[in-house]
Chain A
Amino acid sequence: MASRAYRHSLNGSLLEPGHTLLEIEGVVLAFGGINALENVGLSATQGRIHAVIGPNGAGKSSLLNCISGLYRPQRGRIELHTGQGRHDLATMRPHRIARLGVARSFQNIELFSHLTVLENLMLGRHVHMSRRLVPSMLWFGPARRQEIAHRELVEEVVDLLQIQAVRHRVVSSLPYGVQKRVELGRALCMQPALLLLDEPMAGMNVEEKEDMARFILDVHELRGVTVMLIEHDMNVVMDLSDRVSVLDFGRLIADGSPEEVRNDPAVIEAYLGAEAGAG
């Protein structure tokens, strides 16, 4: 699929496309008496775009937070296949999960707002950087070469997402749409095995949405990164994804190809019901 030659691979997974990358089984997450997720199970495949949709409060973000370790489910397994073994993410601390190659963006942008775009992207390289203290402080030899190698990869991401012009700007001074792009970029710099995107197009106008959709497709098609995304805009979801899982009130009500899901009566009811209620 890759039409151009790239110096660095952005896909951090060792699996061949088509293999199961993530297996979620029987996940239960409750806050007090409220069940955010009830016995949710689904699986994601290497090399696909997998969308998770559902009305507000359906538990989509909770599911993503369980995968990235920010929430710990009370029951269930979330298994990541790395090609060298399986890891149960449900019991792991978030920084360990990140080191296995699970990268993510947030619904309400979580960038390091006092740092520049480049510094944010370089932090995406954190897990890949050497631990040696003195050379890095004195900036000689290996530390310098290492920094240059990381910077090359970061520049590839900058080119991919077309944020060359804002490289040195402090993130908090950038428009919302560009910040969303930087956040995607920071996750990409981790060379993710699995890229989780929590509403990457929320709050954008039509043009920005089209740009973002293009970037996600590029990341997926040109760079082979497996993507799992949450999105509200049904048109976007149907266009982008290979597979769609639908949550409603914490339960999985449908799981299949976009066409199957579109015509599923349970999905139609959940959405029309929600919209009628929101009216």
Chain B
Amino acid sequence: MNVETLTTLTVYGLADGAVLALAALGFVLIYKATQVINFAQGEFLLIGGYTFYAAFVLFGLPTTVAVLFGVVVAVALGVVVERFVLRPLVGESAISVIMVTVGLAAVLRGVMQLIFGVQARQMPAVLPAGTVEVLGARLPLNRLLVLVVAAVVLIAFALFFRRSRHGVAMRAVADDQQAALTMGISARRVFAMSWALAAVSALVAGVLLADITAVTPDLVSFGLLVFPVVILGGLDSVAGTIVGGIIIGLSEQFVSGFYDPGFAQIVPFILLVVILMVRPYGLFGQVRIERV
């Protein structure tokens, strides 16, 4: 083990972790506000990646316009899914709702394959390639930029929740829906907003991921890592997604670099099982003790 490898792996791990945190943030938003466990979060990420690809490569739009286009599509997707798939299910059992999101995931994945096929597509890199030297290690510039972009987006979300009227309304609905209604907050609007924001955060994650890898249907499998992240951080904790994302990202890279890349792929899920055994509500989740 030497310092350069350690530094390199840390940067790779942090970059992965930051992207994971973004993807997981959307999951937590939906769970907090609506108590729905969204199994289609990985597909939101996939759609985000492809939408940007379509705008940027197929339509040839400039980068910023392509990003804006992606955001608009993501917001529309979130709102439509909430309105036509989830709202009719209000009052149904949790397991039915989960099954519907599993079905939704299959449909979304299928539609993407119909449109774009199953072949991986290489996207011209948006983030500059190059390397920078830090502590003797040559670090890929694009991973560092992924880290920066993800951090900026996460901070923007944090400010939104702390300061803005709508962000505070979302926290209020998550805390006590009935009380929020009597404060003049529309729960329906908050539900729609949480789905829209979840799709947007997944879009950003999808675009970053597509930039450092490729646009393929396999983006979904990265989306699967959202589950270890949210179980680790706590289903209802925004801060937990960041810590959980970083832990999963780092542990995967370290195991891959120092031990075995194949084994690294199952490390997140081993962590998931361990966490479920010792601390089922996650590191930062709300401890709920229910008497039945």
Stretch touching chain A among B8-16, B86-94, B175-183: B175-183
> In this complex, what residue of B is CB-closest to A101?
B184
> In this complex, what residue of A is CB-closest to B181?
A94
The distance in angstroms between the C-alpha atoms of A76 and B169, with both chains bound, is 32
B179 is contacted by which of A110, A127, A129 (Cβ under 8 Å)? A110
User: Which of B176, B179, B186 has the most CB atoms of chain A within a 10 A radius of its CB?
Assistant: B179
Contact B178 A106 (CB under 8 A): yes
Verify if A104 is at the interface (C-beta below 8 Å from B).
yes
Stretch touching chain B among A132-140, A214-222, A260-268: A132-140
A123 and B168 in contact, given A95-B186, A137-B156, A137-B160 (Cβ under 8 angstroms) = yes
List B contacts of A168 (CB < 8 A).
none
Q: Which chain A residues numbered 86 to 136 have a C-beta less than 8 Å away from chain B?
A: 93-96, 98-99, 103-104, 106, 110-115, 119, 122-124, 126-127, 129-131, 133, 136
Verify if A62 is at the interface (C-beta below 8 Å from B).
no
> In this complex, what residue of A is CB-closest to B164?
A136
Least CB distance from A173 to B in Å reads 15
List B contacts of A106 (CB < 8 A).
178-179
Least CB distance from A72 to B in Å reads 13
The distance in angstroms between the C-alpha atoms of A190 and B183, with both chains bound, is 8
Verify if A270 is at the interface (C-beta below 8 Å from B).
no
The distance in angstroms between the C-alpha atoms of A120 and B262, with both chains bound, is 50
List A contacts of B163 (CB < 8 A).
136-137, 139, 143
The distance in angstroms between the C-alpha atoms of A186 and B179, with both chains bound, is 10
Contact A126 B183 (CB under 8 A): yes
Least CB distance from A102 to B in Å reads 8
A104 and B164 in contact, given A112-B172, A112-B176 (Cβ under 8 angstroms) = no
A95 is contacted by which of B171, B176, B184 (Cβ under 8 Å)? B184
Contact A70 B183 (CB under 8 A): no
The distance in angstroms between the C-alpha atoms of A184 and B290, with both chains bound, is 29
List A contacts of B187 (CB < 8 A).
95
List B contacts of A126 (CB < 8 A).
165, 168-169, 172, 183-185
Interface size on B, residues (CB 8 A): 23
Verify if B166 is at the interface (C-beta below 8 Å from A).
yes
Contact A111 B176 (CB under 8 A): yes
Contact A112 B186 (CB under 8 A): no
A112 and B175 in contact, given A133-B166, A136-B163, A137-B163 (Cβ under 8 angstroms) = yes
A133 and B176 in contact, given A126-B169, A127-B183 (Cβ under 8 angstroms) = no
The distance in angstroms between the C-alpha atoms of A110 and B173, with both chains bound, is 12
Contact A136 B175 (CB under 8 A): no
Verify if A61 is at the interface (C-beta below 8 Å from B).
no
A110 and B165 in contact, given A95-B185, A98-B183, A137-B160 (Cβ under 8 angstroms) = no
Contact B175 A98 (CB under 8 A): no
The distance in angstroms between the C-alpha atoms of A264 and B180, with both chains bound, is 39
Q: Which chain A residues numbered 38 to 74 have a C-beta less than 8 Å away from chain B?
A: 68-70
Q: Which chain A residues numbered 128 to 165 have a C-beta less than 8 Å away from chain B?
A: 129-131, 133, 136-139, 143
Contact A98 B184 (CB under 8 A): yes
A93 and B176 in contact, given A126-B165, A136-B164 (Cβ under 8 angstroms) = no
The distance in angstroms between the C-alpha atoms of A101 and B166, with both chains bound, is 20
Least CB distance from B185 to A in Å reads 6
> In this complex, what residue of B is CB-closest to A122?
B168
User: Which of B165, B169, B176, B178 has the most CB atoms of chain A within a 10 A radius of its CB?
Assistant: B165
User: Which of B156, B179, B182 has the most CB atoms of chain A within a 10 A radius of its CB?
Assistant: B182
A190 is contacted by which of B178, B180, B184 (Cβ under 8 Å)? B184
Verify if B159 is at the interface (C-beta below 8 Å from A).
yes
A112 is contacted by which of B160, B179, B181 (Cβ under 8 Å)? B179
The distance in angstroms between the C-alpha atoms of A104 and B164, with both chains bound, is 24
Contact B183 A124 (CB under 8 A): yes
List B contacts of A127 (CB < 8 A).
183-184
Contact B178 A110 (CB under 8 A): yes
The distance in angstroms between the C-alpha atoms of A130 and B168, with both chains bound, is 13
Least CB distance from A9 to B in Å reads 18
A95 and B181 in contact, given A110-B176, A130-B165, A137-B164 (Cβ under 8 angstroms) = yes
The distance in angstroms between the C-alpha atoms of A223 and B187, with both chains bound, is 31
The distance in angstroms between the C-alpha atoms of A104 and B159, with both chains bound, is 30
The distance in angstroms between the C-alpha atoms of A110 and B180, with both chains bound, is 9
B175 is contacted by which of A69, A94, A113 (Cβ under 8 Å)? A113
Contact A131 B184 (CB under 8 A): no
The distance in angstroms between the C-alpha atoms of A106 and B179, with both chains bound, is 9
User: Which of B163, B169, B187 has the most CB atoms of chain A within a 10 A radius of its CB?
Assistant: B163
The distance in angstroms between the C-alpha atoms of A93 and B189, with both chains bound, is 12
- 10 A-B pairs closest in CB distance: A98-B184, A127-B184, A110-B179, A94-B181, A112-B175, A137-B159, A95-B186, A99-B184, A136-B164, A129-B165
- Point out residues on B near A: beta carbons under 8 Å: 156, 159-160, 163-166, 168-169, 171-172, 175-176, 178-187
- Point out residues on A near B: beta carbons under 8 Å: 68-70, 93-96, 98-99, 103-104, 106, 110-115, 119, 122-124, 126-127, 129-131, 133, 136-139, 143, 186, 190
What would be 17 A-B contacts, judged by CB atoms less than 8 Å apart? A95-B181, A95-B183, A96-B184, A99-B184, A104-B182, A110-B182, A112-B172, A112-B175, A119-B168, A123-B172, A126-B169, A126-B183, A127-B184, A130-B165, A137-B156, A137-B164, A143-B163
